[in-house]
Amino acid sequence: MTKDYELMVILSPKLNADEANNLNEGLLNLVVENGGEIIKTDPWGKRLLAYPIKKNQEAYYFVNYFKMDSLLVKKLKALFNINENILRHMFVVRN
């Protein structure tokens, strides 16, 4: 069943701005390769974290909106978990 999702990713500050944008584009390409449809991307840029994550005080934030089959989201989560440059990610189903 296809659902609307909001994906927030927090990327490592060790990347420069271009590398962070390219990594987010790569994540969106994974969504498209798995049958998803990108609605829009909202780059927030580099921001201070509320608390340190892996000894980092700041990180790059991206909020992505897309449509995708709900069964394939688990596959994406597994891929995101093994990427060292992704500090945190969160999928939210939008109504």
Segment 21-48 shows an average pLDDT of 95
Enumerate the domain spans of the chain: 2-94
Question: 5, 92 in Cβ contact below 8 A?
Answer: yes
Segment 38-59 shows an average pLDDT of 96
CATH code given to domain 2-94 = 3.30.70.60
Q: Which two tokens stand for residue 43?
A: 């780059």
Task: Write down the pLDDT at residue 95.
Answer: 76
- Residue 25: pLDDT above 90? yes
Question: 86, 66 in Cβ contact below 8 A?
Answer: no
Confidence band of 82 (pLDDT split at 50, 70, 90): very high
